[in-house]
Amino acid sequence: MLSLDYLHALCLVGIAIYIWVREPPRLLLTPLMLISFFVLYGIGNIIYCVVEADDLVPGVRATVTRCLILMWIALVIGMELARAAAPSLNARAELVIRRWRSAPIINRPEGSQLLALLGVVVALIIFAVFFYLGKPSQLRNFLSFDLTHEKMQYRAEFAGGGGYFYQTLFISVAPFLSFLLLVKGIATRQRYLIAIGLLVCAAVFAGKIGTFQKVPWLVYLLQLMGVFQATRRLEFGLGRVLLFLGVVLVGASLAALIAIPDLEPTGILEWLGYRFFQVNNEVVYQTYYVYPEYLPHTWGMNIGLVHELFGSGELVSAHSRVASFWGSDGATYDSFFIGDAWVDFSYGGVIALSLLVGYVVKAVDIFVLSLGKVPLAIALLGSGMYGVYQLQVTSAFTAFFSGGLLLIPLLALASTGLFNDLYRATGHRAASRAPAAGRPKEPEGPSAAF
């Protein structure tokens, strides 16, 4: 054990106290993020370092541990800055949390038909691209292979397709729409909303299964479970934790046995422990091993937009370079978000990105809760859970935009504002033709459409 390991352990004790006092376990993005990081890269990292101590380079191990300590400190500072930046919204959010369990879901009927139409259009687009790409036959071929390496090669060749718009649609946009439709349908008991919500759910599952990846469809299932839980209460006790863990174990085991035919069923639990804990920390360690000792820091050129504006040539991502360095071309070497931050900007990147992540995640929680217990708030919480998952395995900017952590709240805010403007305009026109006593009351607040 290095002295930094003891400091990291002490830091984790402080984080556990912070979670207990400031962010108790709830179906909110901030506590879910902290708890998942704590398990995977807090306790998980210490266990990994102890088990693999003889094979780790002390200098690289110390750098990783140092960055984790800096990350924890910066995350907490970022979250507290978000609280301080919007004290009135934060106070309202705290009040909503206290009243959540006893409060009914407040739904406004305006916009339901437009939302239903949007859901149908999105589902049809996903299904159309899914069949156009020949995904059904690809899935049959994938299931017919008996060797793991054949499935890995097939997944690498056919996992993508459809372009960035299609991928973003079924990864983050369509899941949000499905949650919103289902919650509105439950709140209003309108069957057509529930039916269209289920149609969008089917499209999302099709899109995610069409990637041949083991986890995305399971994460979506957990999101659905979280959304239905959030319609009643935000707190979750031991029973619900065990239920979620059971679903994760069964779903991940089934996916692993399909994707890895060579895996013995008797060793599935050992493999899952290795995959969830050791592999995640191993990839972080390997990324820090390669950068900057063998490859220099990229200083922003690993970020797609920055490379497009200021770089030259084709972008080869850091995780692909790390995979090539370790002789695993085509393998998945996606790192925890601090890995990409380290690749780009060293310690400064880890601190800055951790501050930004803490601030954004807490700010999204505050904004969502300030809406009250409305379908939009519940749908945004469910949607944000995928962004939290993305933070665990890839860069912060990917989680913000492709993962929908920041993109979906911004789109929801913009679309709600646009709808309210249109509704007021049509309301004023109708009012100008109606007697004064019969004029309709205009909707108020940012969640009027939902």
- Note the pLDDT tens digit of each residue in 235-292: 988 888 889 999 999 998 888 888 887 777 777 888 888 877 788 899 999 999 999 9
Q: What pLDDT score does 445 carry? A: 45
Q: Looking at residue 418, what is its pLDDT?
A: 57
- Note the pLDDT of residue 91: 96
Residue 31's alpha-carbon distances to 86, 165, 293, 329, in angstroms, are 19, 30, 35, 36
Q: Indicate the length of the chain as a whole number.
A: 450
- What is the pLDDT averaged over residues 165-183? 94
**Dihedral sign from CA coordinates of 162, 166, 172, 175:** negative
For the stretch 131-140, contacts whose Cβ atoms lie closer than 8 Å and that sit 24 or more positions apart, written own/partner, are: 133/161, 133/162, 133/210, 135/206, 135/210, 138/210, 138/212, 139/209, 139/210, 139/212
Task: Determine what percent of the chain is predicted with pLDDT higher than 70.
Answer: 91
In a domain, 387, yes or no: no
Residue 429: per-residue pLDDT = 52
Can you read off the two tokens belonging to residue 307?
């490379």
Give me the pLDDT at residue 400, please.
Answer: 93
pLDDT tens across 59-97, in order?
A: 999 999 999 999 999 999 999 999 999 999 999 999 999
- Residue 187 forms part of a structural domain: no
With cut-offs at 50, 70 and 90, classify the pLDDT of residue 415: confident
Q: Which of 108-112, 114-118, 127-131 has the lowest mean pLDDT?
A: 108-112
Q: How many domains does the chain have?
A: 1
Per-residue pLDDT for 182 more than 60?
Answer: yes
Give bridge partners of residue 26 from the DSSP assignment.
235
Residue 26's nearest CA partner among 76, 107, 100 is: 100
Structure tokens at 63: 């750098």
- For residue 249, being part of any structural domain is answered with no
Q: Is 312 helix (H, G, I), strand (E, B) or coil?
A: coil
Average pLDDT of the chain, as a whole number: 87
Burial 25-35 (b: 16+ CB within 10 A, else e): bbbbbbbbbbb
Query: Does residue 126 fall inside a structural domain?
Result: no
Q: Is residue 69 part of a domain?
A: yes
Q: Which residues pair with 235 in a beta bridge?
A: 26
| Residue range 110-132: mean pLDDT, rounded | 92
Residue 7 lies in a domain: yes
d(CA 411, CA 163) in angstroms, rounded, equals 20
Tell me if 364 sits within 8 A of 384, measured CB to CB. Answer: yes
In a domain, 188, yes or no: no
Structure token digits, residue 112 = 């339901």
User: Can you give the pLDDT at residue 376?
Assistant: 94
What are 243's two structure tokens? 């239920």
Structural domain range at position 45: 3-105+261-373
In a domain, 409, yes or no: no
Burial class (CB in 10 A: 0-12, 13-18, 19+), 282: middle
**pLDDT score of 433:** 52
pLDDT for residue 272: 82
What's the one-letter identity of residue 113? Q
